[in-house]
Structure 1
Amino acid sequence: MQRHRGPLPDPQQLVEYENVLPGAADRIIAMAEREQRHRHDLQQAGLKQRFAITRNGQRSGLTALAIMAALAAYLGNIGHPGWAVVAGSLDIVAVVTIFVVGKRLGGDAPTDRASAENRDGAEQRTPERPEEEAPQLPQQRTDGVAPDSDGGSEA
């Protein structure tokens, strides 16, 4: 059983491609380089977006916290100490909840390693036994003639 892992065919297969179609190996390598560059650009864009979302969320949370603290101070100042305690308590509970939940969740989205592995060059293998091979689909005709309904050949 042969095993190969990576975005490119093994060197022997590249030689075979080159023998069949001169320049094919260079085209295959260029295609892999473009794909890698594209993948890196997408990852970079995703990281920038997550950073921007996190930063905006922190700013919004800080603003809301400041507003609630100001409201609590205002309510206490105008003679409503009960409502001031409620507003201040909500503030404290919200901050504690964010920290506790953030710690439990790990602060990051789960990653799908299986899809990343497949995308980055899943293991390709050659089956040893015929029963391991993928099912064969019927051959499609390119001459425009439909095969008989019983699957036989034309007379």
Structure 2
Amino acid sequence: MPHPKHLREYDEVLPGAAERILSMAEYNLEHSISMDQKLAGAEIADRKLGMWLGAGLFGLLIVGAFASLLITSNPVVPGLFLGTAAIGGVVAFIKGRNGR
């Protein structure tokens, strides 16, 4: 925004220029707020999707471990499924929310 003295001089040179400049500044502020809200909404949706996919994959690994335990008598395969699930969970806790 120009200084009020300069704004008055703009208006003297071109009548209505001060109003147009203020209107442009208001529009720019509204647009900036709108974009910030959209960005925050998109980030929330992205995190929710990641949480759902992570929970689904974790559950799938647990089900795979129990299924492989029922199918085979070898404890190595279920251990691999459970180990993968545990490592994924530990990494998620270590990284935390900001560890992208």
With the length of structure 2 as denominator, give the TM-score of the two structures: 0.90
- In structure 1, the residue matched to 2:2 is 9
Q: Structure 1 residue 19: deviation in Å?
A: 1.1
Q: Counterpart amino acid of 1:35?
A: N
Q: Counterpart amino acid of 1:73?
A: F
Unaligned runs of 5+ residues in structure 1 are 1-7, 109-155
For 1:37 and 1:102, the matched residues in 2 are separated by: 34
- In structure 1, the residue matched to 2:47 is 54
For these two proteins, the number of residue pairs brought into alignment is 99
Q: Report which of the two structures shows the higher radius of gyration computed on alpha carbons.
A: 1
Question: Percent identity, aligned pairs only?
Answer: 28
Residue deviations 1:75-118, cap 9 Å, x none? 22232311111110110001111221235xx357xxxxxxxxxx
Quick check: 1:36 aligned with 2:25?
no
After TM superposition, what 4+ stretches of structure 1 lie above 4 angstroms from structure 2? Answer: none
| Aligned 1:1-155 pairs, distance under 5 A | 8-78=1-71, 79-102=73-96, 106-107=98-99
Q: Counterpart amino acid of 2:62?
A: A
For 2:99 and 2:32, the matched residues in 1 are separated by: 24
More contact order relative to length (CA 8 Å, sep ≥ 6) = 1
Report SS of the residue matched to 1:91. Answer: helix
Q: Counterpart amino acid of 1:43?
A: D
Q: Counterpart amino acid of 1:99?
A: F
Unaligned runs of 5+ residues in structure 2 are none
For 1:62 and 1:31, the matched residues in 2 are separated by: 47
Q: Structure 1 residue 41: deviation in Å?
A: 1.0
Structure (1 or 2) with the greater helix fraction? 2
For 1:99 and 1:15, the matched residues in 2 are separated by: 58
